[in-house]
Amino acid sequence: MSNQSNLLHYWSRWENKLKTLVKSRNAELHFPAMRRRVGSHDHANPDVITFELEEPILILEAPQKASSTRRTKRMHILVDGTFTFGETAGHPCLLSAGCNLTLFDPTVCDEDSSLRLVLVDAMHFDVETPDKHGNLKGFHPFFHAQRGISHDDHVIQHLFAKYTGRTPEEVHVDQSAKDTIGHPSLRIPTPQLDLFSVMTMIAADCFCNPADAPAPSPRRAVANGETRAELLFVELLRLLTEGANVVREGHTSKMLMQRVATANLMSAGHWYPECA
């Protein structure tokens, strides 16, 4: 299979595993198809293509915190992102990636059942793109997180209207916090946080509650038909790290691994192109 076919097949496998975990906490997942972006080919290198989502991933009624004392507080989550990779090249094939995570505090009006969405946080994660000479931007960590960025209000209104049985006019969006939640230019070095990694992070922090009773053993859980968050999360981790994930390793991650191996230690300093 080509990298394109592998990515689309791998994407489809995520839906069932993630949906099972989300449903186990009485939340709701709407998982879009992935598609090739129109005009995504790099004219200098026609094998380089970009994939995006048809619409953002939407998680309704996600627990706000994996804690026994705050399980009643719920939020709505949007996740969006892209992958750019070599279509015919083998590993490493990922050239760049981006992911946008938005968290909303929802309130339903008692009078008319309209939905009010207040943005409480937004952040995005980047995998830096090397230029044609293999160089990266100065002072930019290879992988990093930044505060800010979300979607236009009308995109959010139509998406929530579609999945909550409302009209767009009944969905009121307040993203005024977008400009005050943090310094937008502060780039925090991170591991590679692409769409798959961010979904794993959300699963761990929102749907894996340490206070929930763990299954006595994987075999007993399966035999009794139990769905325990711990076991479901391990399945997600296995899916994230298996070889079928064609975008788990790119040119940038290769560069970073070589630096860490040579230095025999791991330091955030290795994330910067200035580190020799």
Chain centroid to CA 18: 12
Residue 181 in any domain: the answer is yes
Confidence of residue 40 (pLDDT cuts 50, 70, 90): low
- By the 10 Å C-beta count (0-12 exposed, 13-18 middle, 19+ buried), 26 is classed as exposed
Residue 10 in any domain: the answer is yes
Partner residues linked to 250 by β-bridges:
94
Confidence of residue 217 (pLDDT cuts 50, 70, 90): low
Helix (H) or strand (E) holding 45: none
DSSP 92: S
Cβ atoms of residues 58 and 159 within 8 Å: yes
- In the chain, what is the greatest distance between 2 CA atoms, to the nearest angstrom? 64
Of 122, 177, 191, the residue nearest 150 (C-alpha): 122
Residue 43, phi then psi, degrees to nearest 5: -65, -30
pLDDT tens, 173-195? Answer: 999 998 888 887 899 999 999 99
- Three-state DSSP at 81 gives strand
Residue bearing the bigger pLDDT, 232 or 78: 78
Confidence of residue 223 (pLDDT cuts 50, 70, 90): very low
Please state, in angstroms and rounded to a whole number, the distance separating the CA atoms of residues 261 and 91: 19
Domain hosting residue 164, numbered range? 3-271
DSSP 180: T
Residue 276 in any domain: the answer is no
Residue 114 in any domain: the answer is yes
Q: How many residues does the chain have?
A: 276
pLDDT surpassing 70 at residue 41: no
Q: Which of 47-61, 99-113, 150-164, 222-236 has the lowest mean pLDDT?
A: 222-236
User: Which residue do the tokens 């943090």 mark?
Assistant: 182
Angle at 49 between CA 97 and CA 36, to 5 degrees: 90
- Three-state DSSP at 46 gives coil
User: Side chain identity at 63, as an amino acid letter?
Assistant: P
pLDDT tens, 42-100? Answer: 566 677 889 999 999 999 999 887 555 556 689 999 999 999 988 776 667 898 999 99
> How many domains would you assign to the chain?
1
pLDDT tens, 117-147? Answer: 999 999 999 998 878 787 888 999 999 999 9
Residue 247 in any domain: the answer is yes
Cβ atoms of residues 46 and 88 within 8 Å: no
Confidence of residue 104 (pLDDT cuts 50, 70, 90): very high
Residue bearing the bigger pLDDT, 4 or 182: 4
Q: Which of 85-89, 234-238, 245-249 has the lowest mean pLDDT?
A: 85-89
